[in-house]
Amino acid sequence: MIALGCDHGGYPLMKEVIKYLEKEGIEYKNFGTFSEESCDYPVYAKLAANAVASGECDKGILICGTGIGISITANKIKGIRCALCHDCFSAKATRQHNDANMLAMGARVVGPGLAVEIVKDFLNTEFSNEERHIRRIKQIED
Ligand code: RB5
């Protein structure tokens, strides 16, 4: 189950991401927002990130205008490793090296074609499980 969260700036791109998830039959829980009416990204970042931190959802995708505010907010929640990615290399690497459990993107930074490729790489790449990466992730939490 994928947790989704966005603000008004991210909403148009989130609709494209949702189209992809539905086409692939990937289950998601959408925590909003649900329109382009101005709102506060921390509200939606926290709802989605709490669902990942609690185990209700396995991973999450967050989108705001830049991806910055929404990723900063998510990373304040214990257990969340939210990676702001605007390229496929980073999306794969953050899964392999950081076991990132949330992806953030900026709808004013990437177009829908690239965004969907980033989502694919994020969702389809496994954590490497290598000792050095496990050690470093543990140090983030300590
Ligand atoms: C909203 O205008 C914008 O500030 C927000 O979407 C995001 O980019 C914040 O980091």
Mean pLDDT by 10 residues, the chain (142 residues): 98 98 98 98 98 98 98 98 98 98 98 98 98 97 88
Q: Indicate which residue's Cα is closest to atom 4 of ligand 1.
A: 65
User: Could you tell me which of 140, 139, 77, 90 has the C-alpha nearest to residue 119?
Assistant: 90
Task: Note the pLDDT of residue 142.
Answer: 87
32 — alpha (psi -120 to 50), left (phi > 0) or beta? left
- Which atom belonging to ligand 1 lies closest to the Cα atom of 9? 6
Q: Which fold has domain 2-141?
A: Ribose 5-phosphate Isomerase B; Chain: A, (3.40.1400)
- Which atom belonging to ligand 1 lies closest to the Cα atom of 68? 10
Which residue carries 């289950």 as its tokens?
A: 27
Task: List active site positions.
Answer: 64, 97
How many angstroms separate the CA atoms of 97 and 126, rounded? 9
Distance 2 CA to ligand 1 centre (A): 22
Task: Note the pLDDT of residue 138.
Answer: 97
Task: Note the pLDDT of residue 66.
Answer: 98
**Ligand 1 touching residue 74 (CB < 6 A):** no
Tokens of 118: 């980033």
Tokens of 27: 């289950």
- Which atom belonging to ligand 1 lies closest to the Cα atom of 8? 6
Residue 59's DSSP bridge partners are: 2
Distance 10 CA to ligand 1 centre (A): 8
Distance 3 CA to ligand 1 centre (A): 19
Q: Are 109 and 86 in contact (CB under 8 A)?
A: yes
Distance 142 CA to ligand 1 centre (A): 30
How many angstroms separate the CA atoms of 15 and 20, rounded? 9
